[in-house]
Chains A and B, each alone.
Chain A
Amino acid sequence: MTDQPQGIVHGVIEELEKAPDPPPSGPWIWVQENLLGGDTRLTKFFNGLLTVVFALIAVNILQFLTSYIFNPERRWSAVTFNMKLMMVQAFPQADLFRIWLSIGIFFVLVALSLVAWGLRGQMSLWTLSRGLRNAGVFLMLMTVMHGAFEASKILPIPLFSIDSPADWSGTRLLIFVIGLAMFAGAFMYLRREGIAAKDKSIPFLSLIAVGMGLVTLVIWTIDLPIPDGQFDETLGPIATSTTGPWTILFAVAIAAYFFGRWLIGIVEPARLRRWLVILWLFSYPVIIMVIQRKPILEWGDILAISKDSPLGLFLLFSVIGGAVIWWLALPDSLPVGRGIAVAIGALLILAGWPLEFFFDEMPALVGPIATLAGVALIAGGLMIHDRVEIARIIGSVLAIVALLVWFVPMPFLVRGLFITFAFVAVAAPSFGGTAQTRNNMVAVWVAIVFLVVATFVLGEAETALEFQSTTFLGGFNLSILLAISGVALSFPLGVVLALARTSSMPIFRLLATAYIEIVRSVPLITWLFFGSVMISLFLPGGISFDEIVRVVAAVSIFNAAYVAENIRGGLQSINKGQYEAGSAMGLSTVQSTALIIMPQAIRAVLPALVGSVIVSFKDTSLVAIIGLADVLLIAKSFVPGQTNPHNFLGTQPQMLFFIAIFYWMFTFTFSRMALRYEKSLGLGER
Chain B
Amino acid sequence: MVTPLEPRTDSGEQAKPPFWRNVTVLKWGAQIGFLVFFVWLFYILISEAASNLKQTGIPFSWDFLGDPLGVKLGEGFNTDPESGLEALAVGMVNMVRITISGIVAATILGTIIGIARLSSNWIVSKVANAYIEFFRNIPLLVQIYFWQALVFGLGELTADDTGSGMYFATSKGVAIPWLNPRAGRWQYIALLLLGGWVARRVYKWRIKILEEKGMETHAMAWGLGTFATFMFGGWLIHPIMGVLGYLWSALAWISGNVPVFFFQVALAAVAAWLAYRFIKNFLDERRTPAGLAKLTDDDYFRLIVAGLLGLAGVAFFLLGPGNSVVSQMLGRSKTFAMNWGLEPIFEFLATKFDFSTGVPMEWSRPEVVVPTRFAQYSAEVGKAFTPAFVAVWIGVTLYTAAFIGEIVRAGIMAVHRGQNEAANALGLKRGQMLRLVVLPQAFRIVLPPLGSQYLNLAKNTSLGIAVAYADIVQVGQTIYNQGGQALAVFIIWMGFYSGVSLLLSGVVNYYNRKMQLVER
B120 to chain A, nearest CB (A): 5
Q: A537-B52, A625-B466, A668-B133 are in contact. Are A505 and B150 (CB under 8 A)?
A: no
User: Measured between alpha carbons, how far is A34 from B44 in the docked complex, in Å?
Assistant: 68
Contact of B498 among A50, A158, A518, A586 (CB under 8 A): A518
Please state if A433 and B153 are interface contacts (CB–CB under 8 Å): no
Please state if B169 and A158 are interface contacts (CB–CB under 8 Å): yes
Please state if A523 and B134 are interface contacts (CB–CB under 8 Å): no
User: Measured between alpha carbons, how far is A58 from B4 in the docked complex, in Å?
Assistant: 73
Over the window 487-514 of chain A, the binary record of Cβ atoms lying under 8 Å from chain B Cβ atoms (1 yes, 0 no) is 0000000000000000011111001000
User: Measured between alpha carbons, how far is A433 from B134 in the docked complex, in Å?
Assistant: 54
Contact of B302 among A504, A506, A632 (CB under 8 A): A506
Please state if B48 and A664 are interface contacts (CB–CB under 8 Å): no
Binds B, one of A87-95, A213-221, A303-311, A524-532: A524-532
Nearest to B455 among chain A residues (CB) is: A521
Is A439's beta carbon under 8 Å from chain B? no
Is B477's beta carbon under 8 Å from chain A? yes
- CB neighbors of A among B485-505 (8 A): 486-487, 490, 493-494, 497-498, 500-502
Is B374's beta carbon under 8 Å from chain A? no
Is A657's beta carbon under 8 Å from chain B? yes
B59 to chain A, nearest CB (A): 12
A437 to chain B, nearest CB (A): 9
Please state if A525 and B501 are interface contacts (CB–CB under 8 Å): no
Is A258's beta carbon under 8 Å from chain B? no
Residues of A contacting B22 with CB < 8 Å?
A: none
Contact of A530 among B45, B127, B139, B490 (CB under 8 A): B490
B161 to chain A, nearest CB (A): 14
Is A559's beta carbon under 8 Å from chain B? no
Main SS of chain B's interface residues?
Answer: helix
- CB neighbors of A among B113-169 (8 A): 119-124, 126-127, 130, 133-134, 137-143, 145-146, 149-150, 153-154, 169
Please state if A58 and B123 are interface contacts (CB–CB under 8 Å): yes
Is B30's beta carbon under 8 Å from chain A? yes
Residue among B122, B127, B480 with max Cβ neighbours from chain A (10 Å): B122
Please state if B494 and A518 are interface contacts (CB–CB under 8 Å): yes
Please state if B31 and A506 are interface contacts (CB–CB under 8 Å): yes
Is B462's beta carbon under 8 Å from chain A? yes
Residue among B27, B141, B497, B501 with max Cβ neighbours from chain A (10 Å): B141
User: Measured between alpha carbons, how far is A518 from B496 in the docked complex, in Å?
Assistant: 11
Nearest to A525 among chain B residues (CB) is: B462
Please state if B20 and A384 are interface contacts (CB–CB under 8 Å): yes
Please state if A529 and B490 are interface contacts (CB–CB under 8 Å): yes
Contact of A54 among B51, B121, B145 (CB under 8 A): B121
Nearest to B119 among chain A residues (CB) is: A50
Please state if B124 and A660 are interface contacts (CB–CB under 8 Å): no
B398 to chain A, nearest CB (A): 12
Over the window 667-683 of chain A, the binary record of Cβ atoms lying under 8 Å from chain B Cβ atoms (1 yes, 0 no) is 11001000000000000
Residues of B contacting A57 with CB < 8 Å?
A: 127
Is A201's beta carbon under 8 Å from chain B? no
Please state if A534 and B465 are interface contacts (CB–CB under 8 Å): no
Residues of A contacting B149 with CB < 8 Å?
A: 652-653, 656
User: Measured between alpha carbons, how far is A508 from B3 in the docked complex, in Å?
Assistant: 26
Residues of A contacting B298 with CB < 8 Å?
A: 504, 506
Contact of B473 among A523, A653, A656, A659 (CB under 8 A): A523
Residues of B contacting A625 with CB < 8 Å?
A: 141, 463, 465-466
Please state if B3 and A538 are interface contacts (CB–CB under 8 Å): no
Over the window 411-450 of chain A, the binary record of Cβ atoms lying under 8 Å from chain B Cβ atoms (1 yes, 0 no) is 0000000000000000000001100000000000000000
Residues of A contacting B124 with CB < 8 Å?
A: 50-51, 54
Is B267's beta carbon under 8 Å from chain A? no
Is A541's beta carbon under 8 Å from chain B? yes
Residues of A contacting B139 with CB < 8 Å?
A: 618-619, 621-622, 632, 663
Nearest to B20 among chain A residues (CB) is: A384
Residues of A contacting B315 with CB < 8 Å?
A: none
Please state if A538 and B48 are interface contacts (CB–CB under 8 Å): yes
Please state if A653 and B150 are interface contacts (CB–CB under 8 Å): yes
A44 to chain B, nearest CB (A): 11
B458 to chain A, nearest CB (A): 8
Please state if B38 and A511 are interface contacts (CB–CB under 8 Å): yes
Is B459's beta carbon under 8 Å from chain A? yes
Is A549's beta carbon under 8 Å from chain B? no
Residues of B contacting A522 with CB < 8 Å?
A: 459, 493-494, 497-498
Nearest to A384 among chain B residues (CB) is: B20
Please state if A505 and B31 are interface contacts (CB–CB under 8 Å): yes
Nearest to B126 among chain A residues (CB) is: A58
Contact of B301 among A506, A521, A540, A652 (CB under 8 A): A506
Contact of A526 among B35, B130, B462, B501 (CB under 8 A): B462
Nearest to B297 among chain A residues (CB) is: A506
Is A539's beta carbon under 8 Å from chain B? yes
B394 to chain A, nearest CB (A): 11
Please state if B138 and A660 are interface contacts (CB–CB under 8 Å): yes
Over the window 441-468 of chain A, the binary record of Cβ atoms lying under 8 Å from chain B Cβ atoms (1 yes, 0 no) is 0000000000000000000000000000
A449 to chain B, nearest CB (A): 25
A435 to chain B, nearest CB (A): 13
Please state if A656 and B145 are interface contacts (CB–CB under 8 Å): yes
Q: A384-B20, A538-B49, A652-B149 are in contact. Are A667 and B121 (CB under 8 A)?
A: no
User: Measured between alpha carbons, how far is A521 from B150 in the docked complex, in Å?
Assistant: 31
Q: A522-B497, A539-B48 are in contact. Are A656 and B142 (CB under 8 A)?
A: yes
Please state if B121 and A656 are interface contacts (CB–CB under 8 Å): no
Is A564's beta carbon under 8 Å from chain B? no
Contact of B3 among A37, A383, A536, A586 (CB under 8 A): A586
Please state if B463 and A51 are interface contacts (CB–CB under 8 Å): no
User: Measured between alpha carbons, how far is A35 from B127 in the docked complex, in Å?
Assistant: 13
Over the window 470-488 of chain B, the binary record of Cβ atoms lying under 8 Å from chain A Cβ atoms (1 yes, 0 no) is 0001000100100000110
Residues of A contacting B122 with CB < 8 Å?
A: 34-35
Q: A507-B31, A664-B134 are in contact. Are A657 and B146 (CB under 8 A)?
A: yes
Residues of B contacting A622 with CB < 8 Å?
A: 139, 141, 463
Residues of A contacting B126 with CB < 8 Å?
A: 58
- CB neighbors of B among A231-264 (8 A): none
Q: A541-B52, A653-B146 are in contact. Are A35 and B121 (CB under 8 A)?
A: yes
A431 to chain B, nearest CB (A): 9
Q: A506-B302, A537-B53 are in contact. Are A433 and B1 (CB under 8 A)?
A: yes
A-B contact pairs, 18 of them (CB 8 A): A35-B121, A37-B120, A51-B121, A58-B126, A159-B150, A506-B302, A507-B34, A525-B463, A526-B473, A529-B473, A529-B490, A537-B53, A541-B55, A618-B139, A632-B145, A636-B145, A653-B149, A653-B150
Query: A518-B498, A618-B137, A660-B138 known; 11 other A-B pairs, CB under 8 Å?
Result: A37-B120, A158-B154, A506-B31, A522-B493, A523-B460, A524-B459, A534-B486, A541-B51, A586-B1, A632-B145, A667-B137
- B residues sitting closer than 8 Å to A (CB atoms) are 1-4, 20-21, 27, 30-32, 34-35, 38, 44-45, 48-49, 51-53, 55, 119-124, 126-127, 130, 133-134, 137-143, 145-146, 149-150, 153-154, 169, 298, 301-302, 455, 459-460, 462-463, 465-466, 473, 477, 480, 486-487, 490, 493-494, 497-498, 500-502
The 10 closest A-B pairs by CB, nearest first: A521-B501, A34-B122, A523-B459, A523-B462, A507-B31, A621-B139, A667-B137, A618-B139, A653-B149, A586-B2
